[in-house]
C-alpha cells in the first residue's frame, strides 16, 4: 500500500508556478523513505492547459477538479473543495506551495482533516527514527526538524528550497512506461457566499524601471532613516542604466514607495549587478533578487543571511562605506581621464 | 431643542450609519524576541534559551493588527478592541503594550510551557476562548517574527468555522455589519479583492498602516487596567500532532568572498572586482 502523497499544483492564468515541480521533488524525497503513490491535484474553473503541461512534463497521475466558480483563488472554496476531496480519498502527505494561496489554505485544511501542519518546509531528512521536515526559524538563524505524529501532514514548501523535478529525470525512471500519466477529471460544483471575489488590483510595482535596469542598488533597514536613502541614490548614479530599490520594511515605513520594492511581493529582478545595502536578506527579499548576475552585499552584521548568497560580502556600515567607495571611484575615474588626456596630447 | 440642534443630531445619526455598525474586535498578539537579539539552542536541543541581553517585544506583525483595530474603532464609534495573548507570565508585557496603544481590554492565556508550542495549540485555545463571545472580527499579524509559521490566524478561523483571509492590506466593514470588503496581497504585489461574511479572521500584511507608539497617558491608564488571566490547562486537552525533533544552527555556506582589511582597502578591492567583471561601464 505505502504512503500516499498529494501535491496541490499552483497555476495562474494557465501557467504552472515553478514551485509545482519543486513539490514533486519533495514528494519523491518522501517516497524514497516511505514508498507510495503520488498524485497531483489541480483546482480551477479551467485547468486544461496546466493539466496537459504537467502531465507531459512529469508523467505523474493528475486529478483535475473543475470548479466552475473558481476562476480566481478563493480561500473558502479551496478549503471546502480540498477537505471534501481528501475526506473521500485520504492521503498521508498533502503538499502545497508556501505561496500567498498555499499559506492561506494549508493550516485550516490540516485542521479540517484532523491532521497536522508544517509551513515553510525546506527539506526532508530521514534520521534513525521518524521522517523529519526541516524549516527555518528566528529569521533563518535557526533550523528546526519537525516530526508529525498525526496524519495527514499538510505541508507548504518554501519556493526555491528544493531543485525542481526536471523532465530528464523522468525518462531515466525505469518504471515509467508511458509518456503521460493518468488524468482523472471531475467536476465539483460548489459555491460559498462567505467569500466572494470582486476583482484584482494591479501591483504598484507594475511598469517600474527595476525590471529593465542593468544595475540595481537597494537599501534596507540598515539605512536607519528615510533621508539616508540618498546614499543609495548616490551609489546608483555611478552606474549607467541603474535603478534604486529597497526591501519591504523600508516600504512599510513609507521611506520609499512600494513601486521600488524588490522581493516576492514587489518586483522580481535579475540585473547584471545587484548591490544590497543594509539589507539582512529575508527570504521574501532574497527570492526576488537572487537571479542577479553578480551580488554585492554591505551590512554591519556578519551573520546577515544576505551574505550567504552574495558574491562579494562587505561587513561595514553603508553610511561610511558608500561615500568612501564613491570617492575611490571618482579618484580612479579622474586618474583614468588624465591618462587618456595625456595619451591624446601625445598622439596629437 | 432648536432647529439647528435637531439638524445636528440627525446629521450625527446619519454619519454613524454611514460609518457602519459598532464591532467587537479581538486582536491576537504574541511576544517575541527582538529581531537583533541573539538566539541560542538550549541544552536539551529542543528549544531556545534567550541570552541575558535578549529583549522582548510585541511581534512586529501583530502591531499592525492592534493599529488596524484601533483605526476601525476611530471610524466606527462604539467599537470594542480586545486583545489576547498565549504565553508565560512575561508575555503580559505585550498585552500592556496593546493597552498602551489604546486597546480596551486584555486577556492572557497563561501557558507555563517553555518549549516548542505548535500553532495548533495556540489557535485552539484562542478559538475556545473566543467562541460564543460575539466577536465580529478577529485580527492578527500574518505571521510571528520568530517562528514564521503563519498558521495561528487561519487555524483560529477553522476552529470557529468562520472564513479567513490572510495577507490583508485593506479592510472596510460594510454599513450593516454583515460583511467586510478586503484586499489581500498576492505574489508580485497585486491584490485580490473579496467580500467576506462577518464574523471572520483577517491576518494582516505589514504596511497596511503605520502602527502608533503607546502614548504616555494611555500607558498610565492601562497600568490600572485588570488583565484577565486564564490558565491554558483550563482548556480541553488537545493532541498537538506535531513535535520538535531538534533545533540547530544551520550550516552557513558563503558562496562569495568576504572582503578583508580596512574600509579603504575594501572600497579599492570592490572597485577592482567590479572593473574585472566589466560592471563599471
Residue for cell digits 551573520? A303
B3: burial class by Cβ within 10 Å (0-12, 13-18, 19+)? Answer: exposed
Calpha distance A82→A27 (Å, rounded): 18
Q: What is the pLDDT of residue A177?
A: 44
The pLDDT tens digits of the residues spanning B64-82 come to 999 999 999 999 999 999 9
Omega within 30 of 0 (cis) for the link into A152: yes
pLDDT over 90 at A336, yes or no:
no
For residues B75 and B22, is the Cβ–Cβ distance under 8 A? no
The pLDDT tens digits of the residues spanning A223-260 come to 999 999 999 999 999 999 999 999 999 999 999 999 99
Mean pLDDT for the stretch of residues B84-100: 96
CB contact under 8 A, B263 and A324: yes
Calpha distance B22→B15 (Å, rounded): 13
Q: Chain A partners of B260 at a C-beta cutoff of 8 Å?
A: none
Is B161 part of the contact surface with chain A (CB cutoff 8 Å)? no
Rg (CA), chain B: 23
List, in order, residues 6 or more apart from B50 with CB less than 8 Å away: B33, B37, B39, B40, B56
Query: By percentage, how much of chain B surpasses pLDDT 90?
Result: 72
- Nearest CA among B151, B150, B141, B153 for reference residue B200: B153
Q: Which of A217-231, A307-321, B3-17, B141-155 has the lowest mean pLDDT?
A: B3-17
Calpha distance A260→B59 (Å, rounded): 25
Q: How far is B7 from chain A (nearest CA, A)?
A: 37
Q: Are strands A11-12 and B31-33 parallel, antiparallel or unpaired?
A: unpaired
Is A193 part of the contact surface with chain B (CB cutoff 8 Å)? yes
Is A212 part of the contact surface with chain B (CB cutoff 8 Å)? no
Model confidence band, residue B263 (pLDDT cutoffs 50, 70, 90)? very high
Calpha distance A106→A112 (Å, rounded): 10
Q: How far is B154 from chain A (nearest CA, A)?
A: 6
Is B35 part of the contact surface with chain A (CB cutoff 8 Å)? yes
CB contact under 8 A, A205 and B188: yes
Q: Which three cell numbers stand for residue A23?
A: 513539490
What are the contacts of B278-281 at 24+ separation with CB within 8 A? B279/A215, B279/A239, B279/A272, B279/A273, B279/A294, B280/A238, B280/A239, B280/A329, B281/A240
Q: Chain A partners of B255 at a C-beta cutoff of 8 Å?
A: 308-311
Mean pLDDT is highest, among A230-234, A264-268, B223-227, for A230-234
Q: Are strands A153-157 and A93-97 parallel, antiparallel or unpaired?
A: parallel
Q: Chain A partners of B252 at a C-beta cutoff of 8 Å?
A: 303, 308
Query: By percentage, how much of chain A surpasses pLDDT 70?
Result: 94
- Closest CB to A308 among B155, B254, B274: B254
Is A323 part of the contact surface with chain B (CB cutoff 8 Å)? no
pLDDT over 60 at A185, yes or no:
yes
Q: Which three cell numbers stand for residue A17?
A: 508556478
Model confidence band, residue B85 (pLDDT cutoffs 50, 70, 90)? very high
Mutate to test the interface with A, among B242, B254, B255, B262 (most CBs of A within 10 A): B242
pLDDT over 80 at B18, yes or no:
no
Calpha distance A129→A145 (Å, rounded): 12
- Closest CB to B189 among A253, A258, A273: A258
Q: How far is A175 from chain B (nearest CA, A)?
A: 34
Ranges assigned E (strand) in chain A = 5-8, 11-12, 15-16, 38-44, 62-66, 93-97, 116-126, 131-137, 142-148, 153-157, 183-187, 195-201, 215-219, 242-246, 273-277, 294-298, 312-314
pLDDT over 60 at A44, yes or no:
yes
* Predicted TM-score (pTM) of this structure: 0.91
For residues B263 and A324, is the Cβ–Cβ distance under 8 A? yes
Model confidence band, residue A1 (pLDDT cutoffs 50, 70, 90)? low
Is A94 part of the contact surface with chain B (CB cutoff 8 Å)? no
Q: How far is A103 from chain B (nearest CA, A)?
A: 7
Q: What is the CA A225 to chain-centroid distance, rounded?
A: 28
For residues B150 and A106, is the Cβ–Cβ distance under 8 A? no
Query: By percentage, how much of chain A surpasses pLDDT 90?
Result: 80
- Closest CB to B271 among A205, A308, A328: A328
If one compares A151 and A128, the residue with the highest pLDDT of the two is A151
Mutate to test the interface with A, among B68, B183, B245, B254 (most CBs of A within 10 A): B245
Omega within 30 of 0 (cis) for the link into B199: yes
CA dihedral B129, B131, B134, B139 (to 10 degrees): 60
Q: What is the pLDDT of residue A206?
A: 81
Is B51 part of the contact surface with chain A (CB cutoff 8 Å)? no
For all residues of chain A together, what is the average pLDDT? Answer: 91
Model confidence band, residue A348 (pLDDT cutoffs 50, 70, 90)? very low
The pLDDT tens digits of the residues spanning B112-129 come to 887 889 999 999 999 999
- Closest CB to B243 among A76, A100, A149: A149
Calpha distance B241→B117 (Å, rounded): 11
Q: Are strands A142-148 and B242-248 parallel, antiparallel or unpaired?
A: antiparallel
Calpha distance B24→B28 (Å, rounded): 13
CB contact under 8 A, B271 and A329: yes
pLDDT over 70 at A109, yes or no:
yes
CA dihedral A326, A330, A331, A332 (to 10 degrees): 100
Query: What Cα–Cα distance (Å) separates residue A231 from each residue in A214, A223, A239, A299?
Result: 19, 8, 14, 14
**E strand or H helix at A281:** none
Of how many residues is chain A composed? 348
Q: How far is A73 from chain B (nearest CA, A)?
A: 9
Mean pLDDT is highest, among A47-56, A171-180, A203-212, A338-347, for A47-56
Q: Which of A121-130, A339-348, B142-151, B179-188 has the lowest mean pLDDT?
A: A339-348
Mean pLDDT for the stretch of residues A208-213: 89
Is B145 part of the contact surface with chain A (CB cutoff 8 Å)? yes
Q: Chain B partners of A224 at a C-beta cutoff of 8 Å?
A: none
Q: State the ipTM, two decimals.
A: 0.90
- Closest CB to B279 among A200, A202, A294: A294
Between chain A and chain B, the number of residue pairs with CB atoms below 8 A apart is 257
B10: burial class by Cβ within 10 Å (0-12, 13-18, 19+)? Answer: exposed
Is B276 part of the contact surface with chain A (CB cutoff 8 Å)? no
Residues 50-89 of A with CB under 8 A from B: 72-76, 79
Residue for cell digits 506535531? B242
Helix, strand, or coil here: A25?
helix
CB contact under 8 A, B189 and A203: yes
Task: Give percent helix, percent strand, percent coil of chain A, each to the nearest 5.
Answer: 35, 25, 40
- Closest CB to B270 among A139, A201, A296: A296
Q: How far is B177 from chain A (nearest CA, A)?
A: 14
Q: Which of A73-82, A330-339, B155-164 has the lowest mean pLDDT?
A: A330-339
Q: What is the CA B271 to chain-centroid distance, rounded?
A: 44
CB contact under 8 A, A108 and B164: yes
- Closest CB to B277 among A206, A261, A294: A294
The pLDDT tens digits of the residues spanning A305-335 come to 899 999 999 999 999 999 999 999 999 888 8
CB contact under 8 A, B184 and A202: no
For residues B61 and B145, is the Cβ–Cβ distance under 8 A? yes
Q: How far is B71 from chain A (nearest CA, A)?
A: 17
Q: How far is B234 from chain A (nearest CA, A)?
A: 21
Mean pLDDT for the stretch of residues B273-279: 91
Mean pLDDT for the stretch of residues B204-217: 95
Amino acid at each position: 500500500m505505502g504512503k500516499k502523497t498529494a501535491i496541490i499544483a499552483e497555476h495562474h492564468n494557465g501557467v504552472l508556478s515553478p514551485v509545482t515541480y519543486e513539490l514533486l521533488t519533495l514528494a519523491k524525497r518522501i517516497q524514497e523513505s516511505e514508498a507510495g503513490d503520488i498524485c497531483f491535484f489541480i483546482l480551477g474553473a479551467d485547468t486544461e492547459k496546466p493539466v496537459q503541461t504537467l502531465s507531459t512534463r512529469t508523467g505523474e497521475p493528475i486529478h483535475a477538479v473543475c470548479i466552475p466558480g473558481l476562476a480566481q483563488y478563493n480561500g473558502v472554496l479551496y478549503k471546502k473543495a480540498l477537505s471534501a476531496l481528501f475526506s473521500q480519498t485520504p492521503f498521508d502527505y498533502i503538499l502545497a506551495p508556501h505561496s500567498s494561496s498555499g499559506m492561506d489554505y494549508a493550516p485550516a485544511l490540516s485542521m479540517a482533516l484532523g491532521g497536522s501542519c508544517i509551513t515553510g518546509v525546506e527539506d526532508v531528512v530521514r534520521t534513525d527514527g521518524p521522517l523529519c521536515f526541516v524549516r527555518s526559524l528566528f529569521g533563518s538563524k535557526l533550523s528546526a526538524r519537525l516530526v508529525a505524529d498525526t496524519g495527514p501532514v499538510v505541508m507548504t514548501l518554501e519556493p526555491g528550497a528544493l531543485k525542481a523535478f526536471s523532465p530528464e529525470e523522468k525518462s531515466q525512471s525505469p518504471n515509467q512506461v508511458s509518456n503521460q500519466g493518468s488524468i482523472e477529471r471531475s467536476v465539483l460544483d460548489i459555491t460559498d457566499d462567505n467569500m466572494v471575489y470582486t476583482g484584482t488590483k494591479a501591483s504598484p510595482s507594475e511598469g517600474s524601471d527595476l525590471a529593465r535596469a542593468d544595475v540595481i542598488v537597494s537599501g534596507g533597514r540598515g539605512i536607519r532613516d528615510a533621508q539616508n536613502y540618498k546614499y543609495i541614490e548616490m551609489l546608483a548614479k555611478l552606474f549607467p542604466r541603474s535603478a534604486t530599490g529597497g526591501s519591504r520594511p523600508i516600504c512599510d515605513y513609507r521611506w520609499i514607495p512600494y513601486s521600488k520594492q524588490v522581493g516576492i511581493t514587489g518586483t522580481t529582478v535579475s540585473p547584471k549587478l545587484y548591490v544590497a545595502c543594509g539589507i539582512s536578506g529575508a527570504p521574501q527579499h532574497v527570492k526576488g533578487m537572487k537571479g542577479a548576475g553578480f551580488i554585492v552585499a554591505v551590512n554591519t552584521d556578519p551573520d546577515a543571511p544576505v551574505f550567504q548568497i552574495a558574491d562579494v560580502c562587505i561587513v561595514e556600515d553603508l553610511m561610511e562605506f558608500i561615500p568612501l567607495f564613491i570617492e575611490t571611484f571618482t579618484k580612479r575615474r579622474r586618474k583614468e581621464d588624465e591618462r587618456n588626456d595625456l595619451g591624446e596630447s601625445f598622439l596629437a | 431643542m432648536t432647529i439647528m440642534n435637531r439638524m445636528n443630531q440627525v446629521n450625527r445619526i446619519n454619519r454613524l450609519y454611514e460609518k457602519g455598525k459598532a464591532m467587537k474586535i479581538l486582536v491576537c498578539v504574541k511576544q517575541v524576541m527582538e529581531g537583533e537579539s541573539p538566539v541560542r539552542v538550549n541544552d536539551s536541543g529542543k528549544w531556545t534559551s534567550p541570552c541575558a541581553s535578549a529583549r522582548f517585544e510585541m511581534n512586529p506583525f501583530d502591531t499592525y493588527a492592534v493599529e488596524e483595530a484601533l483605526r476601525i474603532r476611530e471610524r466606527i464609534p462604539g467599537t470594542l478592541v480586545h486583545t489576547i495573548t498565549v504565553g508565560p507570565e512575561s508575555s503580559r508585557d505585550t498585552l500592556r503594550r496593546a493597552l498602551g496603544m489604546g486597546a480596551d481590554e486584555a486577556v492572557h492565556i497563561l501557558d507555563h510551557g517553555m518549549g516548542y508550542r505548535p500553532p495548533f495549540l495556540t489557535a485552539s485555545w484562542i478559538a475556545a476562548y473566543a467562541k460564543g463571545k460575539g466577536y465580529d472580527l478577529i485580527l492578527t499579524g500574518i505571521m510571528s517574527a520568530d517562528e514564521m509559521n503563519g498558521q495561528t490566524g487561519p487555524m483560529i478561523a477553522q476552529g470557529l468555522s468562520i472564513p479567513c483571509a490572510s495577507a490583508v492590506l485593506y479592510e472596510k466593514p460594510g454599513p450593516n455589519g454583515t460583511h467586510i470588503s478586503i484586499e489581500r496581497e498576492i505574489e508580485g504585489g497585486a491584490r485580490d479583492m473579496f467580500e467576506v461574511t462577518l464574523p471572520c479572521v483577517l491576518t494582516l500584511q505589514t504596511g497596511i498602516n503605520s502602527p502608533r507608539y503607546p502614548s504616555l497617558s494611555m500607558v498610565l491608564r492601562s497600568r490600572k487596567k485588570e488583565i484577565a488571566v486564564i490558565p491554558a490547562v483550563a482548556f480541553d486537552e488537545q493532541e498537538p500532532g506535531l513535535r520538535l525533533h531538534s533545533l540547530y544552527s544551520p550550516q552557513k555556506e558563503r558562496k562569495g568572498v568576504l572582503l578583508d582589511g580596512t574600509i579603504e582597502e575594501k572600497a579599492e578591492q570592490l572597485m577592482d572586482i567590479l572593473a574585472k567583471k566589466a560592471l563599471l561601464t
